């Protein structure tokens, strides 16, 4: 093979290789253009879907509305059941009862019953005991519009006084309520004379109350006491109980309030024992064998009898402020 033939052969080989490479490039270019077209189509489709998502309003969807409706119905049902349970034993005002004579008859009958029960139980009461209704001891009837709430308060006060008498307190010094009938000086009348003696600095007289002077008010004016307005969940009436009794009696009263059929909440509790009733009278007991008077005065533990007598003589004076709740009932 001559040089010219070899040259032609190489040129032919190179030409064929070039054509093959060019064909491959063309094929690859066509394939790439197809892939690019597909990718571009997917991109445009995703852009349209994204724009559709941004532009759509998914809420409220029927599925979500159905689920939330079931949840709301369940919560409302549970709320109404709780509301009915709370209002089961509450004292409701009779809005149709507006005869002042009915209230006055109930007031005097309640007063007679409480005086008889206190006398039978040996519970000391003030001379003019009006259990928060002292203004009606004069015989003046109330306004007809006030009768429903007055009857409501009278019923609650009667139950509270029955609770104190059943607990066998030593004395009931005063019972207070929220006065709504007429505006007063903002603090209402004090407790009956002699029920809560004023305390002066120095030694407290025998049997004097330990309630501070500024806490001698038991009736306070509140024109909206117990009013349940539209939309309110509950209303309250404040009652004040001033009584005397031993520690276990006070605990019995607190337990009775907690277990009462009405929904009652203690808002404030103030108690104190007179100093002269908690002093241990060591002079009543002579030193035992082997114990000198100096040892007794030095602080030797008191005898069992001394501790018992001291605990038995401790009488507490208590001011108890109680809120009686009235819950709204379901309106059908």
* Domain presence at residue 236: yes
State the number of CA atoms in the 13 A half-sphere of 3 facing the CB.
Answer: 0
* Domain presence at residue 307: no
For residues 30 and 43, what is the distance between their CA atoms, to the nearest angstrom?
A: 20
Q: What is residue 103's predicted lDDT score, i.e. its pLDDT? A: 93
Torsion from C-alpha of 269, 275, 276, 277, nearest 10 degrees: 40
309 has pLDDT over 70: no
* Domain presence at residue 301: no
Task: Scan for tokens 């033939």, then name that residue.
Answer: 5
Task: Scan for tokens 């005063």, then name that residue.
Answer: 174
Task: Scan for tokens 């709740």, then name that residue.
Answer: 325
Q: How many helices (H) and strands (E) does the chain have?
A: 8, 5
DSSP 233: S
For residues 241 and 104, what is the distance between their CA atoms, to the nearest angstrom?
A: 22
For residues 123 and 245, what is the distance between their CA atoms, to the nearest angstrom?
A: 10
CA angle 200-318-161, nearest 5°? Answer: 125
* Domain presence at residue 304: no
H or E segment and range at residue 243: strand 234-245
Q: What is residue 5's predicted lDDT score, i.e. its pLDDT? A: 76
Please choose, from the candidates 244, 243, 222, 238, the residue with its C-alpha nearest in 3D space to the C-alpha of residue 176.
238
Give the tens place of pLDDT for each residue, 28-85: 888 888 888 899 999 999 998 888 888 877 777 788 888 889 999 999 999 889 988 8
**233 and 143 fall within a common domain:** yes
Mean pLDDT, residues 166-194? 70
* Domain presence at residue 256: yes
For residues 141 and 208, what is the distance between their CA atoms, to the nearest angstrom?
A: 34
Question: Model confidence at 20, in pLDDT bands (50, 70, 90)?
Answer: confident
**120 and 235 fall within a common domain:** yes
Q: What is residue 172's predicted lDDT score, i.e. its pLDDT? A: 93
239 has pLDDT over 90: yes
Torsion from C-alpha of 3, 9, 12, 16, nearest 10 degrees: -140
Tell me how many domains the chain contains.
2
**125 and 262 fall within a common domain:** yes
State the number of CA atoms in the 13 A half-sphere of 213 facing the CB.
Answer: 5
**40 and 140 fall within a common domain:** no
DSSP 315: -
Question: Model confidence at 311, in pLDDT bands (50, 70, 90)?
Answer: very low
**22 and 111 fall within a common domain:** no
Token pair for 81: 């059941």
Give the tens place of pLDDT for each residue, 245-300: 998 899 999 999 999 999 999 999 998 877 655 454 444 444 454 555 455 445 44
Q: What is residue 286's predicted lDDT score, i.e. its pLDDT? A: 46
* Domain presence at residue 82: no
**29 and 160 fall within a common domain:** no
Q: Within 10 A of 36 (CB to CB), how many other CB atoms are there? A: 10
Question: Model confidence at 1, in pLDDT bands (50, 70, 90)?
Answer: low
Name residues whose C-beta falls within 8 Å of residue 146's C-beta, 6 or more positions apart in sequence: 180, 181
Q: Are 303 and 285 in contact (CB under 8 A)?
A: yes
Q: Average per-residue pLDDT in the chain?
A: 79
**184 and 321 fall within a common domain:** yes
Q: Note the pTM of the prediction, 2 decimals.
A: 0.64
110 has pLDDT over 70: yes
* Domain presence at residue 157: yes
**222 and 114 fall within a common domain:** yes
Percent of the chain with pLDDT over 90: 38
Give the tens place of pLDDT for each residue, 131-152: 889 889 988 899 999 999 999 9
Region for residue 224 given its phi and psi (left: phi exceeds 0; alpha: psi -120 to 50; beta: otherwise): alpha
**103 and 41 fall within a common domain:** no
* Domain presence at residue 61: no
**26 and 136 fall within a common domain:** no
**45 and 99 fall within a common domain:** no
Q: What is residue 242's predicted lDDT score, i.e. its pLDDT? A: 94
What is the span of the domain harbouring residue 114?
91-274+315-327
Range scoring the smallest mean pLDDT among 46-50, 211-215, 275-279, 320-324? 211-215
Question: Model confidence at 224, in pLDDT bands (50, 70, 90)?
Answer: confident
8 has pLDDT over 90: no
Query: In this predicted model, which residue has the larger pLDDT, 272 or 157?
Result: 157
Which among 13-27, 103-117, 187-201, 313-327 has the top mean pLDDT?
A: 103-117
Token pair for 61: 């969807």
Mean pLDDT, residues 301-323? 67
Start-to-end Cα distance in the chain: 117
**39 and 119 fall within a common domain:** no
Percent of the chain as helix, strand, coil, to the nearest 5: 50, 15, 35
């Amino acid at each position: 093979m001559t040089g010219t033939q070899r040259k032609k052969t190489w040129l032919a080989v190179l030409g064929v290789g070039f054509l093959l490479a060019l064909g491959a490039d063309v094929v690859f270019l066509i394939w790439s253009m197809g892939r690019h077209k597909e990718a571009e189509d997917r991109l445009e489709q995703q852009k349209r879907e994204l724009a559709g998502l941004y532009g759509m309003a998914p809420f409220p969807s029927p599925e979500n509305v159905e689920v939330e409706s079931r949840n709301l119905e369940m919560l409302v049902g549970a709320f109404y059941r709780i509301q009915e349970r709370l209002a089961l034993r509450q004292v409701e005002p009779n809005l149709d009862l507006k005869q002042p004579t009915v209230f006055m008859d109930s007031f005097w009958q309640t007063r007679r019953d409480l005086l008889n029960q206190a006398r039978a139980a040996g519970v000391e009461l003030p001379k003019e005991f009006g259990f928060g209704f002292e203004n009606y001891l004069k015989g003046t009837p109330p306004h007809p519009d006030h009768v429903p709430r007055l009857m409501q308060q009278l019923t609650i006060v009667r139950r509270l006084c029955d609770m104190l008498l059943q607990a066998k307190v030593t004395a009931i010094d005063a019972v207070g309520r929220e006065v709504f009938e007429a505006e007063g000086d903002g603090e209402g009348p004090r407790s009956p004379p002699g029920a809560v003696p004023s305390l002066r600095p120095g030694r407290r007289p025998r049997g004097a109350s330990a309630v501070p002077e500024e806490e001698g008010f038991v009736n306070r004016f509140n024109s909206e006491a117990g009013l349940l307005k539209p939309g309110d969940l509950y209303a309250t009436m404040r009652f004040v109980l001033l009584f005397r009794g031993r520690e276990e009696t006070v605990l019995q009263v607190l337990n009775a309030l907690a277990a009462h059929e009405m929904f009652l909440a203690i808002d404030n509790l103030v108690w104190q024992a007179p100093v002269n009733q908690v002093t241990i009278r060591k002079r009543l007991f002579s030193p035992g064998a082997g114990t000198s008077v100096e040892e007794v005065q030095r602080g030797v533990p008191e005898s069992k009898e001394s501790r018992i007598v001291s605990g038995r003589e401790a009488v507490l004076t208590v001011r108890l402020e109680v809120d009686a709740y009235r819950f709204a009932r379901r309106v059908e």
